[in-house]
Amino acid sequence: MKKILGIAAQLLLCLIFCLAGLRSASAQNLVIQHARVIVGNGNVIDDGSIVIRDGRIASVSAGNAGARGAQTIDARGFSAVPGFIDAHRHIFPRGDAEKWLKTDAAASMQQFLDAGYTTLLSGAGPVPGILELKQMIDSGKMKGPRIIASEAIPLRNITPDEARAQVRKYAGMGIRFIGEEALSDKPTPGELEILRAMVDESKKISGVWVMVHAVTPEAMMDSVSAGAPLLVHTPHFGWVTQAQAQQVAAAHVLELSTIGFGVPVFGVFANDNKPRFRDGAPWPSGVINDEGLGQSAGYKAVNARTVWDAGVIYGYGTDTNYEPKAGLSHELRSLNLMFSPQDLIKLMGPNTAAFIQMSDQLGTLEPGKLADIVLVAGNPLDGYWNLLNTRVVIKGGVIVSDQRKNPAPAKDN
Ligand SMILES: [Zn+2]
């Protein structure tokens, strides 16, 4: 009996160790070798390796990681950067959401992946469309970036109790980001009463945040006073003072760029070298919420630097709906006026991950985080344009775009 127990114990031990051995061999499933690793926390490894296991980054190190039995990417000449996050993106075009889901969504989602986007926070709904899209991607039925849903609540023709009920309803549907529709340039007491109710109700539910489009410094300060934790816009109608920027920082409110808003777009809506607004209307007359001369392009850029220098955690958002890579190129070109390449890495990586409340999962290439990685040709620290040379995109440890043979060209840069 003792002998049998002994053999059984040995078998059990073998089983445990053998299985453990098998697991580490098969799960160590992707290794990137010889990449310039731009970690996103300020560190850069000139010739580095990233080992990916079970969809997460297992290790990041200088030199050759030498992981056997894993698929290997030779990334000589490439830089590895954290997967791009657009924290305010209008994903669905206007019109029939259901039809778009059936006919166009798959191609659109692949365009996002090809541009390097691995996570999108949807700029308000539509519900249920956005939840259906998220479900299709999460379940593997469609390839696409990680989708974070949101929905907006109107600030007019609604009572505070109705606004609270809507916050609870959307939270109950799994929507963690609640937008507003839409705070005025000069917010009225009625709008602010609704906004305060939304914020108050959201704070009773863990993991739910209110995000506001504030288009003027006045609206930004009112939104901060109302307790809203997130601003999806940089004000584009009037100058933000240093004192205002410091108040935003002191309130720990996070803010997104969207500074391409007033900057003319070229070569996207027509190849005629004419400046256009982001919906294809002529620039500057077609710029909405502008004084008519395209001033918003200047206001936004300068205000962006003002809030950044005051210490606001400032992330990346485009607030647009046109072609992903052209939108990326346009927003980066606009940001380039005021931010260094190092700033851009911080802005797009850890800062945007903080905005979407996923700092522990995304935003840098560090062990334990989700393996969302973009390999680009060249060095993005030499210039933003190198963030457009997408070659390989990895989401959760899976290669979702491989353009090593046929790189997609970038427009508007
Ligand atoms: Zn928006």
pLDDT (tens digit per residue) in 82-96? 999 999 999 988 888
Does the structure show a pLDDT above 70 at 12?
A: no
Residue 10: pLDDT band with limits 50, 70, 90: low
CA 188 – CA 256 distance, rounded (Å): 24
List the structure tokens of 139.
């379940």
Q: What total number of domains does the chain contain? A: 2
Same domain, 74 and 98: no
Using the mean position of ligand 1's atoms as its centre, give its distance from the Cα of residue 374 in Å: 26
Could you identify the residue written with the tokens 């697991």?
A: 23
CA 197 – CA 191 distance, rounded (Å): 10
Does the structure show a pLDDT above 70 at 8?
A: no
Using the mean position of ligand 1's atoms as its centre, give its distance from the Cα of residue 159 in Å: 23
Longest C-alpha distance within the chain, in Å? 92
CA 95 – CA 97 distance, rounded (Å): 6
Phi and psi (nearest 5°) for 213? Answer: -85, 100
Same domain, 286 and 178: yes
Average pLDDT of every residue of the chain = 92
Using the mean position of ligand 1's atoms as its centre, give its distance from the Cα of residue 211 in Å: 10
Using the mean position of ligand 1's atoms as its centre, give its distance from the Cα of residue 21 in Å: 49
Q: Which residue has the higher pLDDT, 126 or 307?
A: 307
Alpha helix locations (H) across 336-401?
Answer: 341-346, 352-355
Using the mean position of ligand 1's atoms as its centre, give its distance from the Cα of residue 236 in Å: 13
CA 152 – CA 116 distance, rounded (Å): 27
Using the mean position of ligand 1's atoms as its centre, give its distance from the Cα of residue 325 in Å: 18
Using the mean position of ligand 1's atoms as its centre, give its distance from the Cα of residue 106 in Å: 22
Using the mean position of ligand 1's atoms as its centre, give its distance from the Cα of residue 378 in Å: 32
Using the mean position of ligand 1's atoms as its centre, give its distance from the Cα of residue 319 in Å: 5
Using the mean position of ligand 1's atoms as its centre, give its distance from the Cα of residue 89 in Å: 7
Using the mean position of ligand 1's atoms as its centre, give its distance from the Cα of residue 78 in Å: 33
SS3 content of the chain, % helix, strand, coil (to 5): 35, 20, 40
* Beta strand pairing call for 390-395 and 150-154: unpaired
Using the mean position of ligand 1's atoms as its centre, give its distance from the Cα of residue 34 in Å: 39
Same domain, 324 and 378: no
269 is a domain residue? yes
Residue 410: pLDDT band with limits 50, 70, 90: confident
Using the mean position of ligand 1's atoms as its centre, give its distance from the Cα of residue 9 in Å: 62
Using the mean position of ligand 1's atoms as its centre, give its distance from the Cα of residue 358 in Å: 20
Q: Give the pLDDT of residue 13.
A: 47
Does the structure show a pLDDT above 90 at 114?
A: yes
Q: Is 370 left (phi over 0), alpha (psi -120 to 50) or beta?
A: beta
Same domain, 254 and 303: yes
Continuous segment of H or E residues that includes residue 265: none
Tell me, what CATH number does 388's domain have?
2.30.40.10
Using the mean position of ligand 1's atoms as its centre, give its distance from the Cα of residue 388 in Å: 24
Does the structure show a pLDDT above 50 at 54?
A: yes
Using the mean position of ligand 1's atoms as its centre, give its distance from the Cα of residue 232 in Å: 7
Using the mean position of ligand 1's atoms as its centre, give its distance from the Cα of residue 122 in Å: 9
What are 312-357's pLDDT values in tens digits?
A: 999 999 999 899 999 999 999 999 999 999 999 999 999 999 999 9
Using the mean position of ligand 1's atoms as its centre, give its distance from the Cα of residue 213 in Å: 7
The whole domain housing 378 covers 2-81+368-402
Using the mean position of ligand 1's atoms as its centre, give its distance from the Cα of residue 255 in Å: 13
Share of the chain above pLDDT 70, in %: 92
List the structure tokens of 341.
């390449």
Same domain, 375 and 349: no
Residue 17: pLDDT band with limits 50, 70, 90: very low
CA 173 – CA 235 distance, rounded (Å): 31
Using the mean position of ligand 1's atoms as its centre, give its distance from the Cα of residue 321 in Å: 9
Same domain, 32 and 160: no
Does the structure show a pLDDT above 60 at 190?
A: yes
Using the mean position of ligand 1's atoms as its centre, give its distance from the Cα of residue 302 in Å: 20
In sequence order, the 6+-apart residues with CB closer than 8 A to the CB of 290 are: 236, 237, 262, 284, 296
Using the mean position of ligand 1's atoms as its centre, give its distance from the Cα of residue 303 in Å: 18
410 is a domain residue? no
6 is a domain residue? yes
List the structure tokens of 3.
């002998």
Same domain, 312 and 375: no
Does the structure show a pLDDT above 90 at 113?
A: yes
301 is a domain residue? yes
360 is a domain residue? no
37 is a domain residue? yes
Same domain, 51 and 129: no
Using the mean position of ligand 1's atoms as its centre, give its distance from the Cα of residue 124 in Å: 7
Contact 227, 248 (CB under 8 A): no
Same domain, 185 and 319: yes
Q: Give the pLDDT of residue 94.
A: 81
CA 90 – CA 1 distance, rounded (Å): 69
Using the mean position of ligand 1's atoms as its centre, give its distance from the Cα of residue 143 in Å: 24
Q: Give the pLDDT of residue 221.
A: 98
Same domain, 74 and 206: no
Tell me, what CATH number does 267's domain have?
3.20.20.140
Does the structure show a pLDDT above 70 at 5?
A: no
Does the structure show a pLDDT above 70 at 15?
A: no
Using the mean position of ligand 1's atoms as its centre, give its distance from the Cα of residue 182 in Å: 9
**Interhelix angle 324-335/105-115, nearest 10 degrees:** 40
413 is a domain residue? no
Predicted TM-score (pTM) of this structure: 0.92
Using the mean position of ligand 1's atoms as its centre, give its distance from the Cα of residue 123 in Å: 5
Mean pLDDT on 171-196: 96
Q: Is 201 left (phi over 0), alpha (psi -120 to 50) or beta?
A: alpha
* Beta strand pairing call for 78-82 and 373-377: antiparallel
Same domain, 166 and 17: no
Residue 64: pLDDT band with limits 50, 70, 90: confident
Same domain, 101 and 68: no
Using the mean position of ligand 1's atoms as its centre, give its distance from the Cα of residue 181 in Å: 9
362 is a domain residue? no
Mean pLDDT on 215-242: 97
